[in-house]
Structure 1
Amino acid sequence: MLTGVALAVVALLAFGVTGAATAYTKLQGNIESADITDLLGKDRPTPAAEPDPDDPNAGRALNILLMGSDDRSGENAEIGGEVEGMRSDTTILMHVSADRQRVELISIPRDTLVDIPACPRSDGTESRAQKGQFNAAFSIGAQSGQVSDAAVCTIKTVEANTGVFVDDFVVIDFAGFIRMVDALGGVPMCVPEKMEDAEAGLSLEAGSQTLDGSTALALARARKEVGDGSDTSRLVRQQQLLAAMVQSVQSKNLLTDVPELLQFLNAATSSITASPNLASITNLSGLAFSLRGTLGGNISFMTVPFAPAPTDRNRVVMTAEADVLWERVAADQPIVEPATPAAPTDPAAPADPAATDAPAAPAEPEPAPSKTPGKDPITADDVSTVCA
């Protein structure tokens, strides 16, 4: 979705919309910028490359932590019910390759048992280092009441447990997500079976559906009464929803429909807190321009490999396969090994005497390997938005 937002920003600037300066100022003012560099400290993984001060995103891989905030104050209380404190049940590490040919989004289950380091907050307090459930890091940081402190503790926890340097972050809340989906005119999806979850406010019939913002949020939040009730199953539905949203953004004629473009941009940039690099419309547009050739088949979604925790079967732990995954991300290597091409035929090789002049029968196409949701990566092109 960040890619879609950025591409639309480029369109606004490139086409010289009437009143573009006013629109630019409004969009820039929508995003809350938070510089957390000092709070993150010096004890961090090594970044892939030092940023160019004139173009921070040029020629280097980027790791962007996307967090969904379950903050139930103000407008969000009307959506999810008022609850004290801040939580985050959705955290995705988005890796953008240095050659801008791949975007890989890796979901981290909230129930993953991890080491949570000591986390300094902007009010001068600091939490103690502890072991706990991954999503506790967001709540621990947020005890100051600042979403930026929640981001600090989550980033420190991700870096401590993966060895991957996080370059930037984005936090979006309930209201912002709803507005973004509604600005797209909804998200088409194939709903395989009837889904009901009273706590999330979800009621969906099976079949081809176009989800409005509130329904899409309910689907993203539903857990206890859908499927096996696990958070890891919910991550699969979230990935399918995000893949469908990518398809919607890429299929919309946002580049030429100025009113729709401005409506989408206004929705997409509201209710967002981001690191300064991504809070800058100029930097965001530069990143978008570099990603303009990235196709849906090169936008991948997966869940970090996990297994039930030995100490608590209701929690999970990252496996040895996860270690390999994070090493690949840190090295800017594809999260899935590319297929090995067939060996080329040597034209100088002697002909087979047993061969006849009859034309060879066309080879049967090999069926695409089946993918296990939640285990195997999927791409934006893998998700069908219309039921067969």
Structure 2
Amino acid sequence: MPHATVRSDNRTQKDPVPPARPARRPSPRWTRWCVAVGATLMMFSGVALGGSQFVLHAATSKVTRQSLIGKAAAPRQHRTITGAKNILLVGIDTRPHQDSSQLTRSDSIMLVHIPADHRQAYLVSLPRDSLVTIPAYDNGATPFHGGKNKINAAFAFGSRGLTGPAALSHGFELLALTVRDLTGITPDAGAIIDFQGFKQIVQVLGKVCMYVDETTTSIHLGKDDATGRTAAPYKINPDGTVNHRIAGVTPNIYTKGNHCLNPSQALDFVRQRDLLANHDYDYGRQRHQQQFLKAVLHQVMTDGLNSPTKLPGLLTAVGKTMTVDDGGIPLEDWAFAMRGIDPDAISTIKTNNGTFNSRTVPGVGSAEILSPTSLELLRAVRDNNVASFVQAHPDWVAPSGPTPAN
């Protein structure tokens, strides 16, 4: 299938701007891609299934290993790959030369649950604005005394006053402790995303074919009507909200249906949350990220791993993508254990059933309240009972749509 044609419309600067929603901190283009790195550990399973031991070693040896989970982990004595597993994946926006006093919040938080038979996987994204209790934590530089806040603040408070690997370790540990206290889940492994590294994966693949489930208008990318050059279609406020439409610039529009997106289009689409046809904002973006994850994994395993020209660059890019805490289990063991997970066997599940459940909290602002059924879902992840939850709540599974041909 050819690359998608990004359709333009006939709207003018008088078009209404998106409805008001909670302010957010601005983030670079790569931030919205972080969820797709959830495929990486499973990507290694494709190497294990279709490649040689040498290729598998070449892939896993390039990954940065670091202790991240810390006190949130279960005891690591005699850890094995058998049984149900939970992986905590965190995407952050750490900018070059960022001042240590500038807080870094986790942009995406996702749990990957692998049942005991290792034949399937479930992806559960935690809304970054979820109201939680963050425990007290001393990172050795700037202690945090604990309290109610949005879950994405946990990484910020854990890493506050630190730089480099120490900031990553302490930020992740406090977030993992927060997730453990909220859900009872002690992660078996964890990873932090490097957005620039993941950009290279998509560049190696060249395109990503996926189903767009709702027409999406970009607030970031468009074309200047006079010159045909790429231009921003909307003026964005410092807090990341939309100010107004820019005259003479037509935004990229990704219409509902099958598309093969080039790297620029794919990055732009996964990033959007403001002008979605269903007005589902963060929940729509969360769903699109999960669907995109499956599409990337499918393409890596059907195209990248079978291409002698793409494979070396792909393995290098994968290795640079994330920092991993393997939980005391070698990555090679993770790869072989998950080699039977096909991309089509990955189910993406919507917290709060993809609907808003917001509340204004003094000192916090507008936050998402996880519903009783969402907490039931998280308990099912903890208890390795997700299949029963899905059977009882089939509408909570996000549809992936038909898979386009490459």
Normalising by structure 1, what TM-score? 0.73
Q: Does residue 1:138 correspond to 2:155, yes or no?
A: yes
Q: Does residue 1:195 correspond to 2:221, yes or no?
A: no
In the alignment, which residue of structure 1 is the partner of 2:374? 322
Q: CA offsets, 1:325-357, max 9 Å, x none?
A: 1221111122445769xxxxxxxxxxxxxxxxx
Aligned match for 2:132, one of 109, 114, 117: 114
Q: Which runs of 5+ in 2 are unaligned?
A: 1-38, 223-231, 233-250
Q: Is the 8 A contact 1:142 1:150 kept in 2?
A: yes
Q: Which amino acid aligns with 2:43?
A: V
Distance in 2, matches of 1:301 and 1:9, equals 23
**2:119 partner SS:** coil
Distance in 2, matches of 1:34 and 1:253, equals 27
Alignment length (residue pairs):
326
Distance 1:132 1:335, change over 3 A: farther
Aligned match for 1:151, one of 160, 172, 183: 172
Q: Which amino acid aligns with 1:237?
A: H
Listed as ranges, the matches of 1:115-264 within 5 Å are 115-121=133-139, 123-143=140-160, 144-145=162-163, 146-191=167-212, 192-198=214-220, 203-206=252-255, 208-227=258-277, 228=279, 230-252=281-303, 254=305, 256-264=306-314
Distance in 2, matches of 1:318 and 1:221, equals 23
Distance 1:57 1:203, change over 3 A: farther
**1:153 partner SS:** helix
Q: Is the 8 A contact 1:199 1:222 kept in 2?
A: no
Listed as ranges, the matches of 1:1-388 within 5 Å are 1-10=39-48, 14=52, 16=54, 23=58, 28=61, 30-36=62-68, 40-41=70-71, 47=74, 53=78, 56-73=79-96, 84-121=102-139, 123-143=140-160, 144-145=162-163, 146-191=167-212, 192-198=214-220, 203-206=252-255, 208-227=258-277, 228=279, 230-252=281-303, 254=305, 256-277=306-327, 283-305=330-352, 308-311=357-360, 314-337=366-389, 376-378=396-398, 382-386=400-404
Instruction: Note the aligned Cα RMSD (angstroms).
Output: 3.3
Q: Is the 8 A contact 1:51 1:57 kept in 2?
A: no
Computing the radius of gyration from Cα coordinates, the structure with the larger value is: 1
Q: CA offsets, 1:212-262, max 9 Å, x none?
A: 3343333232223444263222111111211212221232261x4333222
Question: How far off is 1:7 after superposition?
Answer: 2.3
Question: How far off is 1:8 after superposition?
Answer: 4.6
**2:149 partner SS:** strand
Highest RCO, 1 vs 2 (Cα 8 Å, sep ≥ 6): 2
Q: Is the 8 A contact 2:133 2:146 kept in 1?
A: yes
Question: How far off is 1:322 after superposition?
Answer: 2.0
Distance in 2, matches of 1:101 and 1:8, equals 13
Distance 1:86 1:9, change over 3 A: farther
Distance 1:58 1:51, change over 3 A: farther
Distance 1:302 1:129, change over 3 A: same
Q: Identity of paired residues, percent?
A: 25
Question: How far off is 1:276 after superposition?
Answer: 4.2
Question: How far off is 1:170 after superposition?
Answer: 0.6
Distance in 2, matches of 1:66 and 1:183, equals 23
Q: Is the 8 A contact 1:9 1:285 kept in 2?
A: no
Distance in 2, matches of 1:336 and 1:176, equals 37
**1:259 partner SS:** coil
Question: How far off is 1:199 after superposition?
Answer: 8.1
